Amino acid sequence: MARPRCAICGAPAVVYLRYARMALCREHFREHLLRRVEGVLTRAGLLRRGARIVAAVSGGKDSSTLLDLLAELSRSYGLQVYPLHIDLGIGEYSAHLRRAVERLVSRLGLPLILVEVRRVLRGDGVPEFARRAGRPTCSVCGMVKRYVMNAAAEALGADAIATGHNADDAIAYIVKAFIGQDEEQMAKWLPYTPPSGGAVARVRPLYEVYERYALLYAIVNRIPFTHEECPYRARNSMEDTIKEMFNRLEEQHPGLKIGFLRRFSKKRSAEGVPGPVNRCRICGAPSQGEVCSFCRLTERVYGEPLGPEMRRAVAEAVEKALGVSSGSGRGRASAPPQGSS
Ligand code: SF4
Ligand code: ZN
Ligand code: ZN
């Protein structure tokens, strides 16, 4: 059987997009995903020269694909993209992720903001911290990641934090929230969440990119990433089941997933999503209460609130990555060299 050819240029195809009824070569597949990401950034008002975006890169397929695409857009549009990796201290898993991220940023010629939680949590990784706190690992992990991402974005004076959530992730969280009739959670799963009460805006540039295409993109472009799964990841979660269900529906109705997300985001706006309203009186991070959850939990576990120390460690990591001397204070570090064009 003849190898399928790209519908645009006739070169050998690497993918057949059922929802678009189109085979594409490597270059045009890249173009296709870039247009998707551009669409989200444009609607969020972020596709402009000088826009500062912190890209949270875990070392998995989605965020690695995201960083590669954002690096391309930084060259074409003059965005300032700052890759941030949080080493969560989850044994060999974290070591694999970190190596993958280091290879990726060096290939892209971007300075990496690297935050190691062990340095602040008295030698503990997230699992030990969670165990001492008597809380589920993933909930503590999520809290630590949110805290560090926001602190890094604040230190940089960034316009938004970009995460690698893909279309399948968004659908899984939306449907799960719908089942629980949790309006607040549902409203969070839009492509863009504006800044609110001190929390930096979030953007999800892969909102309209299916998980399988984020993976395929990483493979065909030889992007460094790891297939390893976190040992704490829940098996057979409701999110996984929802993803399988929607993939079956997508087979019968190509384009159903994108259609669903577009209708969902058109009908809703993130306004009205209650954000944090205070600043933590100990560390100054955005917080729902008087003291933020990071300070509260670290105080309980380590006998002192570690928010100020974590914010200092993040600010130092930012300064180190950007090659600026310490003591420049909070708010706006200077721009890194972007891309290798
Ligand atoms: Fe953190 Fe849980 Fe994700 Fe592992 S699976 S990285 S512990 S949130
Ligand atoms: Zn082509
Ligand atoms: Zn605090």
Going by alpha carbons, the residue nearest to atom 2 of ligand 1 is 138
Question: Which tokens hold the place of 189?
Answer: 């799963």
140 in ligand 1 pocket by Cβ < 6 Å?
no
User: Is pLDDT of 157 > 50?
Assistant: yes
pLDDT in tens, 80-127: 999 999 999 999 999 999 999 999 999 999 999 999 999 999 999 999
131 in ligand 1 pocket by Cβ < 6 Å?
no
Give the residue, out of 140, 232, 235, 240, with the most ligand 1 atoms within 8 A of its beta carbon, to mutate for a pocket test: 232
Distance 174 CA to ligand 3 centre (A): 29
- Does an H or E element contain 53, and which? strand 52-56
Distance 53 CA to ligand 2 centre (A): 30
Distance 286 CA to ligand 3 centre (A): 8
pLDDT in tens, 116-130: 999 999 999 999 999
pLDDT attached to residue 274: 63
215 in ligand 1 pocket by Cβ < 6 Å?
no
pLDDT attached to residue 147: 98
| φ/ψ (deg, to 5) at 254 | -55, 135
pLDDT attached to residue 270: 58
Measured between alpha carbons, how far is 62 from 164 in angstroms, rounded to an integer? 5
Distance 45 CA to ligand 1 centre (A): 31
**Long-range contacts for 243-251 (Cβ within 8 Å, ≥24 apart)?**
243/168, 243/171, 243/172, 243/211, 246/168, 246/171, 246/172, 246/175, 247/168, 250/18, 250/19, 250/210
Which pLDDT band holds residue 328 (cuts at 50, 70, 90)? very low
Domain annotation for the chain: domains and CATH numbers: 35-322 (3.40.50.620)
Give the residue, out of 94, 96, 137, 163, with the most ligand 1 atoms within 8 A of its beta carbon, to mutate for a pocket test: 137
136 in ligand 1 pocket by Cβ < 6 Å?
no
Q: Where are the beta strands (DSSP E) in 111-267?
A: 113-116, 160-162, 192-193, 201-203
Provide, rounded to the nearest whole percent, the portion of the chain with pLDDT above 90.
86
Count of alpha carbons within 13 angstroms of residue 306, beta-carbon side: 23
Average pLDDT of the residues in 165-179? 97
Measured between alpha carbons, how far is 224 from 99 in angstroms, rounded to an integer? 9
Provide, rounded to the nearest whole percent, the portion of the chain with pLDDT above 70.
92
Distance 24 CA to ligand 2 centre (A): 5
Who contacts 222 (Cβ-Cβ below 8 Å, separation ≥6)? none
pLDDT attached to residue 1: 64
CB 270 within 8 A of CB 280: no
User: Is pLDDT of 332 > 60?
Assistant: no
CB 314 within 8 A of CB 148: yes
Q: Closest by alpha carbon to 293, among 66, 130, 105, 88?
A: 130
First to last CA, the chain: 38
Helix crossing, 61-77 with 211-220: angle to 10°? 70
Going by alpha carbons, the residue nearest to atom 5 of ligand 1 is 233
142 in ligand 1 pocket by Cβ < 6 Å?
yes
Measured between alpha carbons, how far is 313 from 323 in angstroms, rounded to an integer? 15
